Amino acid sequence: MQNALNTAHDLMRRGALREAEAVCQQALTASNGRDPQAWVTLGMVLRQQGRLSDAESAYRRAIALAPNDVYALHALGALLSQMERAEEALAVLNRAQSLGLNARELHINRGRALLQLYHPQEAERDYERAVAIEPRDPVAQSSLAQLRYMRGDPAFARDMAAAVMANPADAGLHLALGELLRRAGNLPGAESVLRAVIRSQGPIPELRAALAAVLHEAGRLKEAEIEALEASVARPQDVGILESLIGIMLGRGRPEEAMPLIRAQRRRVPYDQRWIAYEATAARLLQEPLYRQLYDYERLVKVYDLEPPPGWSSMARLNAAVAAKLRARHQFNTHPLDQSLRNGSQTARSLLTEPDPTIQALLSAFAAPIASYMASVGSAQDHPISGRNRGGAAMKGCWSVELRRNGFHVNHVHPEGWISSAYYVAVPQDVEDTQAKSGWIKFGEPGIPVAGAGAEYFVQPRPGRLVLFPSYMWHGTNAITGDETRLTVAFDAVPA
């Protein structure tokens, strides 16, 4: 039996997930479904396939057979944390810990669950334990550093920097620190870290790609292109490196070179919203009609002033109640390092998993506008928004952002979405200035600086207003200029 499970693990490592699943099923058949380790291994395979509900069932079968199996408990807790079912995750992880499990993965997953439950101090302690167990783990170090950054700790990267100093040959750890510093806006620090490890370890493609991103953000496009090109030659299948190179090409005004590479990715992953956005930008620079088909603002950006859901007399009352709930969750001093907002905070878990009935009442009010939007765009198969409009839609991911003075969203798209949104719970008084457009959502300007491709379309925020638009459409916001905050809820919808 153990040989079969070893084979399944080997197949997983090689990405042969269907074959690994078949081996697990054979092992379960041989044991009449009585082997808990076979169920755990099957759960791991299913989780890697993205079949999270099936994985949960497999883990629960394992626990039913072996209630004190700490590895099965941890596997279930990690999955529940990934699914942002934080209350359940923490209970399961705590049981694994009480039975003697003390592993860095346990503390990383406990930290994530505690963060989702808005216990940042306790989450930080768990991340610290994970780092103490394995200081060279980039996931543990990045989780700890990001949480400290969000809590306003000026020395947020101290543990990772110490680990890098102690392990000068660890290229992965240097890469993680360079990425962390870049996202925090410390471009000179990021460049110094990456150049130091490249000097000592050689021109590793992943390091050169990370350096290209730093140089690109610093506006040093010629240097960035050299690094990105060399990385791309060494790793031609690496989509992240290719994306970096394409961004540099567009930034340097060479859409005719970028377009064939973009369209190859469009054929490979037709629903990845990033590549639609890049194709639109290249088409805009090339003055191709495709751009106006994709960025038809009048047709594809829709504004809805919501009606109150059952049980609420007005959207004003519902917004006031929702605002109180959300502001209690906006506990962080500043933004997460892996999101589009700047000078603000974001909720730590999807609002779809929030048990609060007030928040759920607001989410229910989005159903009618989503249906209306789908009806308005039609179902023509020759367009990436209408071509997927074949029935219902499901919300995938939902979060709240509070922007403070000088807060804004950098221009971005939602790679895994279909329809994206901005709903305004509360807005500052300065959004009324139609000249400055402070806090207004803007469309069309890429997330990479591209000459001749500025913002083209704006929507004024109002409390109770929902804006729906294609997930591939570049969007961001103008900065808040006053002292009042802008409180929003956003979600992505995908075809059901």
Give the pair of three-digit tokens for residue 172. 């992965």
pLDDT tens digit string along 185-238?
Answer: 999 999 999 999 999 999 999 999 999 999 999 999 999 999 999 999 999 999
Q: Are residues 322 and 238 in the same domain?
A: no
Average pLDDT over residues 140-164: 97
Boundary residue ending a domain (272, 293, 314): 293
| Region for 80 from its dihedrals, namely left if φ exceeds 0, alpha if ψ lies in -120 to 50, beta otherwise | alpha
In a domain, 126, yes or no: no
Q: Are residues 280 and 317 in the same domain?
A: no
In a domain, 86, yes or no: no
pLDDT tens digit string along 87-105?
Answer: 999 999 999 999 999 999 9
The C-alpha atoms of residue 109 and residue 200 are separated, in whole angstroms, by: 34
Q: Which pLDDT score is estimated for 391?
A: 85
In a domain, 453, yes or no: yes
Q: Are residues 228 and 364 in the same domain?
A: no
Q: Are residues 314 and 256 in the same domain?
A: no
pLDDT tens digit string along 235-290?
Answer: 999 999 999 999 999 999 999 999 999 999 999 999 999 999 999 999 999 999 99
Q: Are residues 248 and 283 in the same domain?
A: yes
Boundary residue ending a domain (256, 276, 293): 293
The C-alpha atoms of residue 414 and residue 370 are separated, in whole angstroms, by: 17
Least confident of 104-108, 155-159, 335-339: 335-339
Q: Are residues 464 and 422 in the same domain?
A: yes
Q: Are residues 443 and 479 in the same domain?
A: yes
Q: Which pLDDT score is estimated for 3?
A: 83
| The three-state (H, E, C) secondary structure of the chain, written as one string | CHHHHHHHHHHHHCCCHHHHHHHHHHHHHHCCCCCHHHHHHHHHHHHHCCCHHHHHHHHHHHHHHCCCCHHHHHHHHHHHHHCCCHHHHHHHHHHHHHCCCCCHHHHHHHHHHHHHCCCHHHHHHHHHHHHHHCCCCHHHHHHHHHHHHHCCCCCCCHHHHHHHHHCCCCHHHHHHHHHHHHHCCCHHHHHHHHHHHHHHHCCCHHHHHHHHHHHHHCCCHHHHHHHHHHHHHHCCCCHHHHHHHHHHHHHCCCHHHHHHHHHHHHHHCCCCHHHHHHHHHHHHHCCCCHHHHHCCHHHHCEEEECCCCCCCCCHHHHHHHHHHHHHHHCCCCCCCCCCCEEEEEECCCCHHHCCCHHHHHHHHCCHHHHHHHHHHHCCCCCCCCHHHCCCCEEEEEEEEEEEEEEEEECCECCCCCCEEEEEEEECCHHHHCCCCCCCCEEECCCCCCCCCCCCCEEECCCCCEEEEEECCCCEEECCCCCCCCEEEEEEEEEEC
Q: Are residues 274 and 320 in the same domain?
A: no
Report whether pLDDT(441) > 80.
yes
The C-alpha atoms of residue 121 and residue 330 are separated, in whole angstroms, by: 14
In a domain, 125, yes or no: no
Q: What is the CATH number of the domain that holds 443?
A: 2.60.120.620
In a domain, 219, yes or no: yes
In a domain, 491, yes or no: yes
Boundary residue ending a domain (267, 293, 319): 293
* Phi, then psi, of 456 in degrees rounded to 5: -120, -20
Q: Are residues 271 and 396 in the same domain?
A: no
The C-alpha atoms of residue 332 and residue 161 are separated, in whole angstroms, by: 23
In a domain, 2, yes or no: no
Q: Are residues 332 and 423 in the same domain?
A: yes
Q: What is the CATH number of the domain that holds 261?
A: 1.25.40.10
Q: What is the domain range of residue 358? A: 298-495
Query: What confidence tier does 1 reach under pLDDT thresholds 50, 70, 90?
Result: low
Q: Are residues 288 and 324 in the same domain?
A: no
pLDDT tens digit string along 61-90?
Answer: 999 999 999 999 999 999 999 999 999 999
Number of domain units in the chain: 2
In a domain, 186, yes or no: no
What is the pTM (predicted TM-score) of this model?
0.93
For the chain, give the percent of residues with pLDDT over 90: 98
Q: What is the dihedral of CA 315, 321, 327, 329, to 10 degrees?
A: -110
Provide the CB-side half-sphere exposure for 86 (13 A, CA). Answer: 19
The C-alpha atoms of residue 25 and residue 146 are separated, in whole angstroms, by: 40
Q: Are residues 271 and 322 in the same domain?
A: no
Average pLDDT over residues 114-130: 97
> Please, is 425 exposed, middle or buried when counting C-beta atoms within 10 Å of its C-beta (0-12, 13-18, 19+)?
buried
